[in-house]
Structure 1
Amino acid sequence: MRRAERLHALTELLRRRGARGCTAAQIAAEFGVSERTVKRDLDALEASGAPVWSRRGPGGGYGLAAGTSLLPVTLSPAQAVALMAAVSASRDAPYADLAAAGIEKIVDVLDPRTRARALDLAGRVWVDSPSSRASRRVWSALEEAMASQRVVRIRYTSGKGSTTFRDVEPVLLARRGGAWYLVGWCRLRDAMRWFAVERVERADVTTVPCSGHTVDEVGEPPTDSRPVHGSVRVVPDGTTRTA
């Protein structure tokens, strides 16, 4: 089980256990991992904003604060399937594992009739999911570095075959011409650079924070690209609407 999937499953386990919570030993047995791994996962959940509580001593353990479940979501079956199809067709996109986990959460809280109709319709939609030549480990490191805004050290082979090690401050993950790129400030070249993710052979997140380079320094997006929030607009009441 990938870590993103395990974190989602851990969240659901804690939610189901309610006020009783779980011990680290129980969680470790459930997922077949060490208690040390469990504690790292719990720290990651807490860092992401999940209201994880812990109690020491006999009867202690870990759980989620009450009221953390998703509220019922109002979607049509077709809207639910549109989300499933978009994620399934973009398995090579950044945060694809987390997106899939998010869709599962949304489907779980649909009313039973809508969920049944959505799942039936989903079985009638087939997608040809693109495969990425970048490893999942590389993607996970780039995603973490982008989210935490920390320098990532990469082993990179250029199109001409030369291999270098670069310390990069991530600014963008951009898709262009059918390929994904890490766009960031290269400390070796002291300039903004585009790195094809499929040519990143290794990536390790460092503890060094980024120095503050912005998207504006990259310039305007290509004519065939736009930010992923480009189809969503904020209306005066503060909510969002699809443009």
Structure 2
Amino acid sequence: MKRSERLHALSETLRRNGTRGTSADRLAREFGVSVRTVKRDLASLANSGAPVWSRPGPGGGYGLAAAATLPPVSLSPAQAVAMLAAVSAAPDAPYADHAAAGVRKILDVLDPDTRARADELAARVWVNAPAPTSRAIRSALEEAMSEQRVVRLRYTSGDGVTTTRDVEPVMFASTNGQWYLVGWCRLRTAIRWFAVTRVERASVTQSPCTGHTIHEVGEPPANATSVRA
């Protein structure tokens, strides 16, 4: 598990434990790391603004302040199922795992009656989604985009030519059901579109991106929209 993913999972564990809190030893065992690593991760969460609290002494531990938990959410069963269907139908979308985790958090705080009605309605919606690409590849692309670092790709083009190239990620784009990583290709010194399904290997480097923006990609099609709320 990458450190960024562990930090997210750690905050989720603290949230689920509520006011009870949990010990650093227990967290270390759960995530398979040392107590020292857990304490360093907790400090990073606190420094990033997460309301982490600690209670010293026997029976003490760590937790998240109540403000970090979700308040009651008012959704109709149809709205809840709509989110479930959208996430289930797009397992290859960027950050799909995070979306699924977010939906689960929302469902967890629905009132019992709404949750039961949503469960009944969800059983009437079936999805036969294509198998997603490698989790390791998607994680690398997502991390490179979020952290704005260069990603090294082993990529096979549509005509069967395989190359290894360093790419500065600029955006993700979906068209005709296909997801693409759009970025500045250092091999071609130009903006290029890379079909995610053709990426055979991806690794995030330590090199930061140099500031290429979505404006260099060009004008989007008239029917294209961002996912910005």
The TM-score with structure 1 as length reference comes to 0.81
Taking a change above 3 Å as real, the CA distance of residues 147 and 49 of structure 1, as seen in their structure-2 partners, is: farther
Q: For residue 123 of structure 2, what is the aligned residue in structure 1?
A: 123
Is the partner of 1:192 in helix, strand or coil? Answer: strand
Is the partner of 2:62 in helix, strand or coil? Answer: strand
Counterpart Cα distance in 2 of 1:149 and 1:25 = 33
- Structure 2: 5+ residue stretches without partners: none
Q: For residue 112 of structure 1, what is the aligned residue in structure 2?
A: 112
What pairs with 1:181-196 in structure 2 (closer than 5 Å)? 181-196=180-195
Give the Å deviation of 1:104.
Answer: 0.5
Counterpart Cα distance in 1 of 2:53 and 2:110 = 27
Taking a change above 3 Å as real, the CA distance of residues 89 and 211 of structure 1, as seen in their structure-2 partners, is: same
Q: For residue 207 of structure 1, what is the aligned residue in structure 2?
A: 206
- 1:101-141 per-position Cα deviation (integer Å, ceiling 9, x unaligned): 00001111111211111111111111112223x31100001
State percent identity of aligned pairs: 67
Give the Å deviation of 1:185.
Answer: 0.5
Q: For residue 24 of structure 1, what is the aligned residue in structure 2?
A: 24
Taking a change above 3 Å as real, the CA distance of residues 42 and 91 of structure 1, as seen in their structure-2 partners, is: farther
Q: Which residue identity lines up with residue 106 of structure 2 in the other structure?
A: I
Is the partner of 1:146 in helix, strand or coil? Answer: helix
Taking a change above 3 Å as real, the CA distance of residues 173 and 101 of structure 1, as seen in their structure-2 partners, is: same
Counterpart Cα distance in 2 of 1:176 and 1:88 = 18
Taking a change above 3 Å as real, the CA distance of residues 85 and 148 of structure 1, as seen in their structure-2 partners, is: same
How many residue pairs match? The answer is 228
Q: For residue 235 of structure 1, what is the aligned residue in structure 2?
A: none
Q: For residue 161 of structure 2, what is the aligned residue in structure 1?
A: 162
Is the partner of 1:194 in helix, strand or coil? Answer: strand
In the alignment, is residue 91 of structure 1 matched against residue 91 of structure 2? yes
Q: Identify which range, 220-229 or 78-87, moves more after superposition.
A: 220-229
The TM-score with structure 2 as length reference comes to 0.85
Counterpart Cα distance in 1 of 2:151 and 2:47 = 19
Give the Å deviation of 1:146.
Answer: 0.8
Is the partner of 1:130 in helix, strand or coil? Answer: coil
Taking a change above 3 Å as real, the CA distance of residues 119 and 44 of structure 1, as seen in their structure-2 partners, is: farther
- 1:26-56 per-position Cα deviation (integer Å, ceiling 9, x unaligned): 1233x36233775686577568753334567
The 8 Å contact of residues 24 and 35 in structure 1, kept in 2 or not, is answered as: no
What pairs with 1:1-243 in structure 2 (closer than 5 Å)? 10-29=10-29, 31=30, 33-35=32-34, 38=38, 42=42, 50-54=50-54, 61-132=61-132, 134-223=133-222, 225-229=224-228, 232=229
Counterpart Cα distance in 2 of 1:12 and 1:87 = 19
Counterpart Cα distance in 1 of 2:80 and 2:117 = 10
Give the Å deviation of 1:9.
Answer: 5.5
The 8 Å contact of residues 90 and 96 in structure 1, kept in 2 or not, is answered as: yes
Is the partner of 2:91 in helix, strand or coil? Answer: coil
Taking a change above 3 Å as real, the CA distance of residues 228 and 32 of structure 1, as seen in their structure-2 partners, is: closer
